[in-house]
Amino acid sequence: MSLNEQPKVRIYEPGSDLRHPGQFFRLLSEDLSTCWELSWQLFVRDLKAQYRQSFLGYFWAFAPPLLNAGVFIFLQSSGAVQIEDTGVPYPLFVMIGTLMWQSVVEALMNPGLGMSKAKGILSKINFPRESILLASIWLLLFNVMIRMLILASLLIFYKVELQLAALWFPVAFTSLLTLSLSIGILLSIVGSLYTDIVRGLPIITQFLMFLSPIIYPPRDSGIIGFLSSWNPISPLLTSARHGLLGQQQTQLFEISIFIPISFALFLFSWLAFKLVLPRLIERMPS
């Protein structure tokens, strides 16, 4: 900024920001344009902190899903657990599922963890809070990129030939991550005041894992089938895996509903974060 250039002044008034929607969306656009550099710095800081004191380093970016898959592969091969025919080698089936599921878990948890780390400065320093969300998204994309390399190696090892149906994978998987991020952002708003969200989410995701067709093919009947039908993660995850493996899509109706819903919910959650967070910061201890 030059010596003659006047600094920008922002006036804060009581009441809802939506009283002046034009001004609200203009400020939202300005904050997004100014928070990219800060979000990248926060991402680099979190990435270094995550692996700085780790002997195995970036191995932990994909170790949890592979270890989880290893458990179920052992149980299935030993006959302790009976899994229906998946149409492909079971190790490939379950590893694809667990790799995608780990990304879903991170999308749910990263926004809340980012808010928890920044809680000490939220009420002391005025900065674009969107940078916290963007930093959590950068971290998610970094880990997803590593898992996609593992996924590509699996497809090569099992000699899977990609077909035109593979185009479903980026569409469904992106929608799945977007939906999970949207829920994670909404939970982070509440979690900025109550730590129960961050503490309870790992338990909930572990339960959701068994309600989603990750270690078993999708079912249409029984209790699992009924609960899965109400789980929005199931059709998107199934569609992504079926597309990657060249299998027939079986939930086109559900997919056509949840894909637009996931992006609409992401926009809603981002606006809710922008609107509600300043009010919550006022209630935080200084």
Higher-confidence residue of 67 and 244: namely 244
Please give the mean pLDDT across all residues of the chain.
81
Residue 23's pLDDT band (cuts 50, 70, 90): low
- Which residues fall within 8 angstroms of residue 118, CB to CB, at 6 or more apart? 132
pLDDT of residue 17: 58
Percent of the chain with pLDDT over 90: 28
- Cβ 140 vs Cβ 111: under 8 Å: no
pLDDT at res. 286: 56
pLDDT-derived band of residue 266, with 50, 70 and 90 as boundaries? very high
Taking a C-beta distance cutoff of 8 angstroms, is the pair 243, 237 a contact? no
Residue 168 carries which side chain, given as an amino acid letter?
W
**Distance between CA atoms of residues 254 and 234, nearest Å:** 9
pLDDT tens track for 89-115: 989 999 999 999 999 999 999 998 888
Residue 197: partners with Cβ closer than 8 Å, 6 or more residues away = 112, 187, 188, 190, 191
Residue 56: CB atoms within 10 A of its CB come to 9
How far is residue 125 CA from its own chain's centroid?
A: 27
Average pLDDT on 31-43 reads 81
Is the per-residue pLDDT at 26 higher than 60?
Answer: yes
Question: Token pair of 284, please?
Answer: 């935080």
- pTM for this structure? 0.84
pLDDT at position 145 over 60:
yes
For the chain, the residue count is: 286
C-beta separation of 108 from 187 below 8 A: yes
The confidence score (pLDDT) of residue 10 equals 54
